[in-house]
Amino acid sequence: MQRRRTGMIAVVSALGMTAVLGGCGLDGESADVTLRLVAADYGDSAANSSEKYWSALVEKYEADHPGVRVEVSVHSWNDVDREVKEMVEAGRAPDMAQIGAYADYADDGLLYTADDLLSIPVQAGFASRLASAGQVNGVQYGMPFAASTRLLFYNKSLFEEAGLTPPATWEELADAAGALKAEGVEYPYALPLGSEEAQAETMQWLLSGGGGYTDAVGTYGIDSTENVETFTWLRDKLVGQGLTGPVAPGGLDRADAFAAFAEGEVGMLNGHPSLMKMAADKGVKFGMVPMPGLNGESKATMGVADWMLAFKQNGHREEVGEFLDFVYSDKNVLDLSRRYDLLPVTNAASEAMGRSGEDREIKPFLDELPLAEFYPVGKTSWAAVSAEVKKRIGTAVRQGGSPTTILGRLQTTATTAESAAAG
């Protein structure tokens, strides 16, 4: 088979644990090459830890590749980026790592490209928006591993009691929130702009207002007129009217907002697929619709992708590429996606999920993927900008806050970080 080769793998974990899964080689034979993969767990308990996913996958791979051993270390999402960074700085880069960003390593010349590693059919099979989001200066270094989009969740029971229908515009959302408040709902609309994931809620609102972090050519435009108008509306029409609940948006984290929704305390909030199970487990009846926009349904939604990278240091380009081709087979991509309510990153797996009745609950999120816009992760400046958004954006919507000032400061941070990266 004709091959091009691309990058390394990593895995993701939400369990706060670290574990090492060692491959064993066929019939006890020693391996010629050992590949090391740093991964995080998508599971929320020991019962569905990603350790089990990787253990089964590695066992199958090694059975057909007796000269290769694959060792997977699983870390919490809170730790995995730091672990990889420390390994690289200590001169012990893993062969593969799956983390939230890749641009810094690519900029330092540490990564294989997708062309280096993956076979042509596998690389061509990535969803185009995801493949593009993995590029730096037109070259793909980040291989999408899993994706998600966002929808507006609403509590059906609370909506029925208030005589409401799902909103399609900002004005309808504000009106519905007002009616829910009148019914005594604690969080008519939960607006999590706390430090955990403020950059996500911010981006979803910016997109629904016709703006975003960057413009059409990829230049930061955080203080654009559209973005200032969006946050002015949030300040005046939602937060200022007492429609976002007892916790100030700047102090509300996504996890707490999700937990409150699962307890029946939230009328509406933006959510990703994992919220479906949380709510259903608590018996909450919910519906999902696209995010409302200023004058109608939002023309874009926020997408999030996790990335696979492959480091050059150990020189196992051929073995890494063959392993990644296996990882990205339709069967394995579908298995991962269905286990953890994630969106598949390949066209074939997406089409399979779209046709299958087994996946009907996640289909609304899948339908949003062609409209999804992603964080500007191809910019080495994004990490600094994201951190500053988490720190400051909540103050833009509080009483007396100035969206113009806060977004202007964020734009200055972005411009300075871009200049430093270019220099």
pLDDT digits 0-9 by tens, 50-62: 888 899 999 999 9
CB proximity list for 86: less than 8 A, separation 6 or greater = none
User: What is the pLDDT, as a whole number, of residue 50?
Assistant: 84
**Whole-angstrom Cα distance, residue 103 to residue 320?**
20
* pLDDT exceeds 80 at position 5: no
Q: Are 75 and 39 in contact (CB under 8 A)?
A: yes
Identify whether the C-beta of residue 348 lies closer than 8 Å to the C-beta of residue 330. Answer: yes
Phi/psi of residue 154, nearest 5 degrees:
-140, 150
Q: 6: Cβ–Cβ under 8 A, 6 or more apart, which residues?
A: 112, 113, 114, 115, 116, 117, 118, 123, 140, 143, 310, 321, 324
Looking at residue 64, its pLDDT comes to: 95
How many CA atoms are closer than 13 Å to the CA of 212, on its beta-carbon side?
20
Written as six digits, the tokens of 228 are: 């200032």
Q: What is the pLDDT of residue 82?
A: 87
Q: How confident is the model at residue 47 (pLDDT cuts 50, 70, 90)?
A: confident
Report the alpha-carbon distance of residue 215 to residue 204 in Å, rounded.
Answer: 15
pTM: 0.85
Least confident of 16-20, 82-86, 380-384: 16-20
For 308, counting Cβ atoms within 10 Å of its Cβ (0-12 exposed, 13-18 middle, 19+ buried), the class is: buried
Residue in 139, 100, 140 with CA at minimum distance from that of residue 375 = 100
**Residues 366 and 343 sit within 8 Å (Cβ to Cβ):** yes
pLDDT at 25 over 60: no
Helix (H) or strand (E) holding 147: strand 143-149
- Average pLDDT, integer, range 367-376: 90
**Cα dihedral sign for 364, 367, 373, 378?**
positive
Distance of CA 203 to the CA centre of its chain: 12
Q: Quick check: 240 pLDDT over 50?
A: yes
Half-sphere exposure of 32 (CA within 13 A, CB side): 6
**pLDDT above 50 for 167:** yes
The share of the chain scoring above pLDDT 70, in percent, equals: 92
Residue 309 has pLDDT above 70, yes or no: yes
pLDDT in tens, 92-138: 999 999 888 899 999 999 999 999 999 999 999 999 999 999 999 89
pLDDT at 9 over 50: no
Lowest-pLDDT range of 79-93, 150-164, 238-252: 79-93
The more confidently predicted of residues 320 and 11 is 320
Q: Any long-range contacts for 19-22 (C-beta under 8 Å, 24+ apart)?
A: 19/49, 19/51, 19/73, 19/74, 20/71, 20/72, 20/73, 20/74, 21/51, 21/54, 21/55, 21/58, 21/71, 21/72, 21/73, 21/74, 22/69, 22/71
End-to-end CA distance of the chain: give it in Å, rounded. Answer: 42
48-64 residues labelled b (16+ CB within 10 A) or e (exposed): ebbbebbbebbeebbee
> Average pLDDT for residues 58-78, to the nearest whole number?
91
Q: Token pair for residue 24?
A: 């064993």
Whole-number Å distance between alpha carbons of 27 and 220? 55
d(CA 269, CA 360) in angstroms, rounded, equals: 21
375 sits in which H/E element: none
pLDDT of 164 strictly over 80:
yes
Best CA proximity match to 225, nearest among 414, 407, 26 = 407
The mean of the pLDDT values for the chain is 90
